[in-house]
Amino acid sequence: MIRKALFAALALASVGLAPLSQAQTARNEPLWQAVTAEKQPALDTLRDLVNFESGSGDREGLERIAAYVAGRLKALGGEVELIEADMATAYRMHDTPEKTGPMVKATFKGTGNRSVLLIAHMDTVYLKGMLAKQPFRVEGDRAYGLGISDDKSGVAAIIHALTALKKTGFNQYGRITVLINGDEEISSPGSRALLTALGSEHDAVLSCESTSVANDRLSLATSGIAAVTLKVTGRASHAGSAPHLGVNALYELSHQMLQMRDLSKPQQGLKMNWTVANAGTNRNVIPADAVAFADVRVWSVADYDGIEAEVRARAKKQLLPEAKVEVDFVRRRPPLEPTDAAKALAKRAETIYREIGRELTVSSIAEGGGTDAAFASLKAKGPVIERFGFAGFGAHSNDAEYIAISSIEPRLYLLARMVMEVSAR
């Protein structure tokens, strides 16, 4: 027990925090009153955000929502920039657009010495025109809307946590930086470099993806995501009169997919699943071309190397030697891996949540989804923690996405108090 206590104290010291005393567990009344007053304004902001259609490919919509978010952060006293990604140096993937959505960066300067980075994203997976059929609405404790959980919840949480801090007069931070990007749903090709750079410059990163209505939690880990493209080139021929003169790309593709069906190791977070396949042009033609796509998830960066090597090795074992087999393995997003600093700060978050009579779950196991917290963590010296948004459900669904209205006050309190804890000396 003594060794565990000493370890915890050292871990807290590594992020500039002293161990908590019993006297520090009382609720911060001025802050609680401030976040309580922000409940309806936060709901109004969520309505405004949902009413902007901002799919990752909707440049016009992303420009409108970025202007709105920039205006809100400027009104709070932030030095605001609208930043365009340099697409010449952006990370290119098969679905990377010619131009991604703009980023909103806001800087707040205080009287202290420590710095906090708050991140969220304003783009969604939904197509332009869907808002008319799925408008913002409130039913009981649920506020519905496209993208309201993923991740307009996080944008609203940042705006109103900062509002609550301003109302209490708290400015004992050195710097608070807010970055809201518009390309997260397509793996952040334009914003990932800035996320990594800012993560390295700050003492802590608090990422504001939504938490779950089923499990009020923070996450210390998220999955890495990769994509495999398997392309087979054969030779076309008449399927009836001369099938023997062809090289059936579909046969080879099927062989390749089947021989790679056992690469998943779910117990260690490694998953590879074939999800899309296409072959051929006509019923009576031996297919000359075939392609398949697989989704890969990992818990650690090291797992990427192993599974990529295995995929490439197996692809060399062909059914049809005359076929040409090409493999493209693209690492779309790194995993966020737990660190001692993140675990120590998460312990502080658990204590903070108890100030308002709530219990917080801290998860060190990735659930399958990937987030921008991983990019921010790549060169980070301090803790990186995910899921400071409101409690949500139904992300990426067409008619079931909502946030729990009752989660607004406790989540605003948690985020604001965490900023206070990290920032104040």
Rounded Cα gap, residues 122 and 148, in angstroms = 10
Rounded Cα gap, residues 138 and 149, in angstroms = 14
Rounded Cα gap, residues 355 and 363, in angstroms = 20
DSSP 357: T
Amino acid letter, 129:
G
Torsional sign, CA 131, 134, 138, 144:
negative
Active-site annotation holds for 252? no
Q: Are the beta carbons of 210 and 415 closer than 8 angstroms? A: no
Q: Are the beta carbons of 12 and 344 closer than 8 angstroms? A: yes
309 CB burial (10 A radius; 0-12, 13-18, 19+): exposed
Q: Where are the beta strands (DSSP E) in 249-376?
A: 271-279, 285-286, 289-298, 324-333, 361-363
Three-class secondary structure of residue 260 per DSSP: coil
Kind of pairing between the strands at 142-144 and 402-404: antiparallel
Distances (CA, A) of 244 to 154, 283, 289, 393: 59, 16, 16, 53
Three-class secondary structure of residue 137 per DSSP: strand
Three-class secondary structure of residue 90 per DSSP: coil
List all residues 6 or more positions away from 71 whose beta carbon is below 8 Å from its beta carbon.
Answer: none
State residue 254 phi and psi, 5-degree precision: -60, -45
Q: How many CB atoms lie within 10 A of CB 300?
A: 18
- Choose, from 53, 58, 184, 421, the residue flagged as catalytic: 184
List all residues 6 or more positions away from 3 whose beta carbon is below 8 Å from its beta carbon.
Answer: none
- Choose, from 38, 58, 123, 409, the residue flagged as catalytic: 123
Active-site annotation holds for 84? no
Query: Which of the residues are catalytic?
Result: 123, 184
